[in-house]
Amino acid sequence: MDIIETIKEQIANNTILLYMKGSPNAPQCGFSAKASQAIMKCGEKFAYVDILQNPEIRANLPKYANWPTFPQLWVAGELVGGSDIISEMFENGELQTLVKDAAVKAAAQTEA
């Protein structure tokens, strides 16, 4: 499968998806640590892709997303942004609402 197709599939199949360095329990950079902690505090399950284990995704996602850095948070198929945006949204309560609403909507679609 083409790497761009793989990325599209990952984004489509995961309501809340974080592309990061390392894993939420063992982040490999401060920005990824900050981002994953904020998302975990929202209390919803989320998927992640360790870009250090996936060099093709690491090389191609910035072009696909038109976003040069990692981490990248995707919610309901839309790019939210990187670490600073995630932190800012968490601080003002927007992230919790976004994540919760997306999780509720995804659960409703699964049950339907």
Encode the chain (112 residues) as per-residue pLDDT tens digits. 799 999 999 999 999 999 999 999 999 999 999 999 999 999 999 999 999 999 999 999 999 999 999 999 999 999 999 999 999 999 999 999 999 999 999 999 877 6
- pLDDT for the residue 1: 73
The pLDDT of residue 110 is 79
> pTM value?
0.96
| Helical H segments across the chain, by residue range | 3-13, 30-41, 55-65, 83-91, 94-111
Number of domains the chain is built from: 1
What residue numbers does the annotated binding site for glutathione cover? Answer: 21, 58, 70, 83-84
Tokens of residue 88, six digits: 């800012």
Peptide bond into 62 cis (omega under 30): no
The annotation places the binding site for [2Fe-2S] cluster at 29
The terminus-to-terminus CA distance of the chain in angstroms comes to 30
List residues forming the annotated binding site. 21, 29, 58, 70, 83-84
Q: DSSP label at 77? A: T
In angstroms and rounded to an integer, the radius of gyration of the C-alpha atoms of the chain is 13
Residue 27: domain span: 3-111
Spatial CB neighbours of 3, under 8 Å, sequence gap ≥ 6: 56, 57, 60
Instruction: For residue 59, give both structure tokens.
Output: 């090389």
Which residues are CB-neighbours of 58 under 8 A, at least 6 positions away?
A: 51, 52, 70
CATH code assigned at 84: 3.40.30.10
pLDDT for residue 112: 67
d(CA 85, CA 6): 25
